[in-house]
Every structure is written in structure tokens, then in C-alpha cells.
């Protein structure tokens, strides 16, 4: 039994790693319906209507591709494989894994203080907080728009865990995973020597959504692809560029809070 459990753990992480490596190369891009009105949110940087979501994200596991969608990235998992991997992840998760997953259920860029040091807080970096709150807002809109397009059903293991959870909804792609990988990508552009540990924490945060039954592995994989695509869209926006430069300036001015970090150069200017 111990050998079987070990095999399941290894299988889950090997598959996740393979999926996330595959997600490093997002393809080009279609035309979603915006969910901004439904959410009563207004995007700060993204043009939601211009996001080419169905050309970026793979279809749901088991969905058939029509000829007109031949350029869409292929789905790596069958529904059966997706469910099996999720069940393995949940069954083999340690209590520490579950505790970590619950500790970041209300996620924030400051979760990366695990990598960047305990001084990386909202109190010490108020400009950073405001900026990443705007990023979070836009990603919520973008992910809800994508979820309404694909209409991926929640896993049977899904349960309410926060006051914000709705009774009905969709889960493809994973919003938490999208935010985790997007934050890690932005942070690693500046904190260049910490790129690998930042990415590893993003992977752990994304996988935590699987082990508490909130997402299938395919939804985490889609979150990585979507994060890469949304990053490219953010970086093209002039308002984003201006505020991103101000955030990096705050990090330089307050580098004494981050003594162990080797800061990179401004990636915008």
C-alpha cells in the first residue's frame, strides 16, 4: 500500500510538471463575451472583449475539436485521467499540504513572502498592493469570462470554502492558478535570481487547488497557459506599464526590506 501511495504521488507531480512545461509555449489566439457586467467589475488594464480565449486555451477534456478550431492547443488529458489524477492527489495529500492549501485560499501576491522574505507585506509595499489588487480584479473578470465560455463543471469534490463562493459556477480555467502563475511571472521579471523558487511556489499554489478538491489538473494546466497569455496582454497596456514601473521603483527604494534579493533592471523602461 505504501508503494502504491508513493507511486500515485509521483504520478500526480510528474503529470503536473509535464503539463506546466507544455504550457510554457502558449499559441496565438478568439473572441469572448465579457463577464464584466455580470461581476459588476470594471477592468483596469485588460480589454476583455479582445481576448482570444478559445484560441489560447485547450478545450475541456473529452471535447471534440471542429476543423475551424484546428489551431487550438490540444488537451493532454481525458476526463477519466483528469478525475483519476485529482482523486490520487486528494488521497495522497499530507495534512501539511492541506493546511497550506487552506492558508492561501484567499490568495495574494504577498503569499510570495515565503520566497522574498517576511518583510514583503502590504504594509511595507502599499504601491505594490494597489497595483496587484488591480491585477487581481482584471484576472477575475478574464477568468470568469473564460469559465462562462467553456462551462467546465465543478468536480464532485467541490465544496464552499469562502464567503464569496457561489452555489453554481464553472471551474475551467482555475482562477487561483492563473493568478499564482501571473504573479510569479511578474515578480520574477524583477527579482530575477528568485525566478525558480517563485515558479515552484506558483506550482505548489496551483496544485493545492487540486488536493482540496476545488479543481481538476486540466484546470490548473489551463491556468498556466492563461497566465502566460494574460501577461502578454498586460504588458502591452500603457497604463499597466506606467503603474508597473512605479511598483518596481517602490521595490528599489525599499530594497532594505528585501536584503536577500538581487533585484533586476526595470523590464518596461
Looking at the domain assignment, is residue 266 inside a domain? no
Looking at the domain assignment, is residue 188 inside a domain? yes
Number of domains within the chain: 1
**DSSP summary character for residue 45:** S
C-alpha cell at 60: 475541456
pLDDT of residue 159: 73
Residues 170-189: tens digit of each pLDDT: 999 999 999 999 999 999 99
pLDDT of residue 26: 37
Task: Give the C-alpha separation, 80 to 66, whole Å.
Answer: 22
Looking at the domain assignment, is residue 263 inside a domain? no
pLDDT of residue 28: 34
pLDDT of residue 68: 57
Task: Give the C-alpha separation, 198 to 242, whole Å.
Answer: 24
CATH number at residue 209: 1.20.144.10
Looking at the domain assignment, is residue 33 inside a domain? yes
Burial classification of residue 137, based on how many CB atoms lie within 10 Å of its CB (0-12 exposed, 13-18 middle, 19 or more buried): middle
C-alpha cell at 265: 533592471
Q: Which residues of the chain have pLDDT under 70?
A: 1-39, 65-71, 160-161, 163, 165, 167, 259-269
Looking at the domain assignment, is residue 13 inside a domain? yes
The residue range of the domain holding 176 is: 2-257
Looking at the domain assignment, is residue 232 inside a domain? yes
Task: Give the C-alpha separation, 141 to 51, whole Å.
Answer: 11
Amino acid at each position: 500500500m505504501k508503494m502504491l501511495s508513493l507511486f500515485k504521488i509521483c504520478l500526480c507531480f510528474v503529470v503536473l510538471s509535464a503539463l506546466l512545461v507544455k504550457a510554457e509555449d502558449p499559441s496565438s489566439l478568439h473572441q469572448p463575451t465579457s463577464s464584466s457586467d455580470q461581476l459588476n467589475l470594471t477592468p483596469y488594464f485588460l480589454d476583455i472583449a479582445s481576448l482570444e480565449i478559445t484560441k489560447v486555451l485547450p478545450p475541456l477534456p473529452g471535447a471534440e475539436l471542429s476543423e475551424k478550431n484546428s489551431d487550438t492547443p490540444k488537451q493532454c488529458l481525458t476526463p477519466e485521467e483528469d478525475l483519476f489524477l485529482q482523486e490520487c492527489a486528494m488521497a495522497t495529500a499530507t495534512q501539511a499540504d492541506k493546511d497550506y492549501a487552506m492558508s492561501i485560499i484567499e490568495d495574494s501576491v504577498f503569499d510570495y513572502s515565503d520566497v522574498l522574505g517576511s518583510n514583503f507585506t502590504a504594509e511595507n509595499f502599499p504601491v505594490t498592493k494597489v497595483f496587484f489588487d488591480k491585477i487581481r480584479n482584471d484576472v477575475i473578470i478574464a477568468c470568469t469570462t473564460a469559465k462562462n465560455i467553456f462551462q467546465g463543471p465543478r468536480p464532485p469534490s467541490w465544496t464552499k470554502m469562502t464567503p464569496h463562493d457561489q452555489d453554481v459556477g464553472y471551474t475551467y480555467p482555475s482562477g487561483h492558478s492563473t493568478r499564482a502563475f501571473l504573479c510569479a511571472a511578474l515578480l520574477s521579471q524583477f527579482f530575477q535570481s528568485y525566478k525558480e523558487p517563485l515558479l515552484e511556489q506558483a506550482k505548489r499554489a496551483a496544485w493545492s487547488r487540486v488536493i482540496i478538491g476545488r479543481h481538476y489538473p486540466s484546470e490548473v494546466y489551463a491556468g498556466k497557459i492563461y497566465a502566460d497569455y494574460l501577461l502578454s496582454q498586460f504588458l502591452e497596456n500603457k497604463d499597466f506599464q506606467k503603474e508597473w514601473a512605479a511598483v518596481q521603483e517602490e521595490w528599489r527604494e525599499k530594497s532594505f526590506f528585501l536584503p536577500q534579493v538581487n533585484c533586476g533592471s526595470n523590464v518596461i523602461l
